[in-house]
Amino acid sequence: MADFTHFDSDGAARMVNVGEKPVTDRRAIACGEITMQPETLAMIIDGSAKKGDVLQVARLGGIMGAKQTAALIPLCHPLGLDHVTLDLTPDVSLPGIRITAICAVTGRTGIEMEAMTAASIAALTIYDMCKAVDRSMVITNIHLTHKSGGKSGEFNAN
């Protein structure tokens, strides 16, 4: 098991020094879900939500969230993102929305937190836009499915 990198030898929190690390292409994919009442999903699909196009606003929210990750997560390095994309797929079998966030950067540190933040904020945006009709929605299963680049190489979730 690797040591935690965000603590010094005395146990104090610290921001990791990435200044000596090589610049590499890095990519991360995170997924999540928001489940809801079937009627809420139908409203999203047919575009009848009173606040507007739920999926387009959630996509923008996820992108904005990725860009703000360093301001939200303590000790997270600010990154100049190269690319962020979100796929929001309605799934009647949940019922709900499956969320996939893909982030890329050329840099010295990973982009996993940006991908997971993007997926989380997209789900929270869906909740916010639909809470007036369905407060029972559940955000679940936010997790990293892929990362590549950097010293630790490639990771793919099972």
- Rounded CA-CA distance 153/51 in Å is 42
- Whether 66 and 81 have beta carbons less than 8 Å apart is answered as yes
Active site residue 8: no
Task: Quote the tokens at residue 116.
Answer: 């997971």
Q: Which helix H or strand E contains 118, and what residues bound it?
A: helix 112-130
Exactly one of 82, 87, 128, 134 is catalytic; which is it? 128
- Rounded CA-CA distance 102/29 in Å is 5
Q: Within a 10 A sphere around the Cβ of 64, how many other Cβ atoms? A: 15
Q: What is the DSSP letter of 21?
A: S
The residues annotated as belonging to the active site are 128
